[in-house]
């Protein structure tokens, strides 16, 4: 309970920092919404020229996209500290976390939250989920809701594990910005499309190495009843809601190992 109260205290401070100018904060969140929304509109208008894309209709692809936006909105609330850890390590400000009584990872996670991106992506993701699910005719039974909640949580932890792994590498190399862009943001661009349309090597990358397929592709297959047994084992669909917890635990073990090798850059 003390940890929970302390995290809420950190969150309150972060909110005050991000929203000290309320109008500007609202406009920035809306700008994120418009920026990402414009990309979706372009994709929607482009896909209207085709009947389907590798067997996926336009609204099914929008449903696939909705997982990316919605999970990222939650991710960026809790894991912004890991996303921006390069700056802390590079400037030497990470040292202060080592001198405090609370855990280093807890302090890193609680140190910052990107509320502008969270609100913008969250609104867009929620709209896409509701709109595309309605158009497709997805029925949210009790089991479907249960699967959806845990697949969203797992998707957040999968991306959090990627952030945590890259943050751990910063203890060795200091600068990891380009590595993060390649391993996360560049790979995430492919996750907006069905991975079965990509070459085999890219499918392996997105399932076993940078597992974005478990963030949206396999959960979407579950709701859309697209069980592609010829290319992917059906078990992938059912382990999607738990794979994030496993990956995050492994990333946490690597974090603990890497932290022992941290050397301050000074100030």
The 8-class DSSP code of residue 215 comes to T
User: pLDDT band at 27, cuts 50/70/90?
Assistant: confident
Any domain includes 187: yes
Helix runs in the chain, H state only: 2-18, 22-47, 58-78, 80-83, 85-91, 95-98, 104-110, 115-136, 142-173, 177-180, 187-190, 200-204, 217-224, 235-259
- Tell which residue, 236, 247, 229, has the closest CA to residue 153: 247
5 domain residue, yes or no: no
**Is residue 4 in some structural domain?**
no
**Mean pLDDT of the 166-185 span:** 85
- Least confidently predicted of 41-50, 96-105, 183-192, 200-209: 41-50
Domain count, the chain: 1
What is the structure's pLDDT at 25? 67
Q: Determine, yes or no, domain membership for 136.
A: yes
Euclidean distance between CA atoms 68 and 126, whole angstroms = 11
Residue-number span of the structural domain to which 138 is assigned:
22-259
pLDDT higher than 80, residue 178: yes
Within a domain: residue 265?
Answer: no
The answer, yes or no, to whether residue 159 has pLDDT greater than 80, is yes
Most confident of 100-114, 135-149, 220-234: 135-149
Q: Report the C-alpha gap between 207 and 189 in whole angstroms.
A: 15
Query: Is residue 7 included in any domain, yes or no?
Result: no
Asked whether residue 226 is assigned to any structural domain, the reply reads yes
| Mean pLDDT across the chain | 84
Indicate whether 90 belongs to any domain: yes
- 207-246 confidence digits (pLDDT tens): 999 999 999 999 998 998 876 656 788 889 999 999 999 9
């Amino acid at each position: 309970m003390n940890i929970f109260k302390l995290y809420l205290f950190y969150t309150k401070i972060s909110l005050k920092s991000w929203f000290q100018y309320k109008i500007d904060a609202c406009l920035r969140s809306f700008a994120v919404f418009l920026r990402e929304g414009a990309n979706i509109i372009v994709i929607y208008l482009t896909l209207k020229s085709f009947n389907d894309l590798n067997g996926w209709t336009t609204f099914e692809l929008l449903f696939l996209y909705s997982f990316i936006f919605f999970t990222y909105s939650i991710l960026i609330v809790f894991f912004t500290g890991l996303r921006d850890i390069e700056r802390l390590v590079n400037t030497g400000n990470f040292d202060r976390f080592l001198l405090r009584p609370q855990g280093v990872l807890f302090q890193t996670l609680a140190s910052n939250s990107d509320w502008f991106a969270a609100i913008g992506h969250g609104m867009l993701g929620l709209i896409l989920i509701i709109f595309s699910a309605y158009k497709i005719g997805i029925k949210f039974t009790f089991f479907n809701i249960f699967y959806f909640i845990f697949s969203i949580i797992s998707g957040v932890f999968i991306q959090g594990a990627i952030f945590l792994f890259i943050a751990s590498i910063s203890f060795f190399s200091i600068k990891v910005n380009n590595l993060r862009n390649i391993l996360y943001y560049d790979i995430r661009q492919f996750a907006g499309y069905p991975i079965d349309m990509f070459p085999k090597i890219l499918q392996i990358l997105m399932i076993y190495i940078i597992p974005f397929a478990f963030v949206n592709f396999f959960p979407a297959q579950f709701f859309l009843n697209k069980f592609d047994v010829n290319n992917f084992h059906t078990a992938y669909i059912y382990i999607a809601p738990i794979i994030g917890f496993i990956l995050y635990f492994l990333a946490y073990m690597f974090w603990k190992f890497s932290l022992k090798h941290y050397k301050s850059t000074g100030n």
